[in-house]
Amino acid sequence: MGQTRAHTFFAHLRRMVPGRLARLVRASATAILTPLYFTRHTGHWRSSLRQMAVSPNGDPLPWYTYPCIDFLAPRRHRVGTVLEFGAGQSTLWWAAGGAKVVAFEADREWFDRLRNAVPASVDLRFTTIVSEAECIRDVREQLAVAATQQFDVVVVDGLWRHELITVALERRSPKGIIVFDDSEGYGVFERLKNAGLCRVDFFGFAPGVMLPRCTSIYFTDATLFLDAQIPIGNARG
């Protein structure tokens, strides 16, 4: 049930039954219904069954944690350019927000499937992960001739993640951010702790994933993402 309907229901309940029983009913309902509410209103159930990150309506979502998605969602329409290491649902999500996306993918089968799904605003590029050195060299060579050289958002969510941090730092625009998924691993903290950037960690569940994890955003105080004029979004549901 939505928040307003839930509040109304429990307000009536308090008037109809003794206080202790009303509190017990509310506590039990909260314990049982909260997971159901979460999985429905985030799309987690649907994502789990489809084995891909989708919203409750089936639209693409990034495979970031839900708190990070909620933070980025009202801001993505301000994003002009995105660079992704690891393409997928997030590529479609950023493009749907109006961004021009350059995305690198190393899985040939997934690349071929995605190539038929991305809009014209996406520059989807295949690279190799045979070796760290070869991957980094190929990415650098392809970016050197790309139409865009610096990006509002750089997403590190695939390929040789630790090694691509250097490229992410080079390609982030002065007001841009780096989004690092699964940031509790891959040596992210050690590699970026002296990079002169601020960091916010978004812990929580992600679409179709059973265990909580972390998506981190690195930025400077000049970032366009911290503009106080950006409205605070409503709670889900």
| Per-residue pLDDT tens over the stretch 47-61 | 999 999 999 999 999
In 43-83, which ranges are continuous DSSP H helix? Answer: 44-50, 66-72
CB atoms within 10 A of CB 102: 23
Q: Does domain 52-226 have CATH number 3.40.50.150?
A: yes
pTM: 0.87
Q: Where are the domains of the chain?
A: 3-42, 52-226
Which letter does DSSP use for residue 153 in this model?
E
Phi and psi torsions of 173, nearest 5°? -70, 160
The residues facing 83 across adjacent strands are 102, 154
Strands 81-85 and 122-126, sheet pairing = unpaired
Q: Quick: pLDDT tens for 102-150.
A: 999 999 999 999 999 999 999 999 998 778 888 899 999 999 999 899 9
Residue 8: the pLDDT is 67
Contacts of 106 (CB under 8 A, 6+ apart): 126, 127, 128, 129, 135, 158, 159
| pLDDT in single tens digits along all 237 residues of the chain | 455 666 665 565 556 666 677 677 778 877 888 888 888 889 999 999 999 999 999 999 999 999 999 999 999 999 999 999 999 999 999 999 999 999 999 999 999 999 999 999 999 999 987 788 888 999 999 999 998 999 999 999 988 888 899 999 999 999 999 999 999 988 899 999 999 999 999 999 999 999 999 999 999 988 888 888 888 876 554
Calculate helix-pair angle for 3-16, 19-42, nearest 10 degrees. Answer: 170
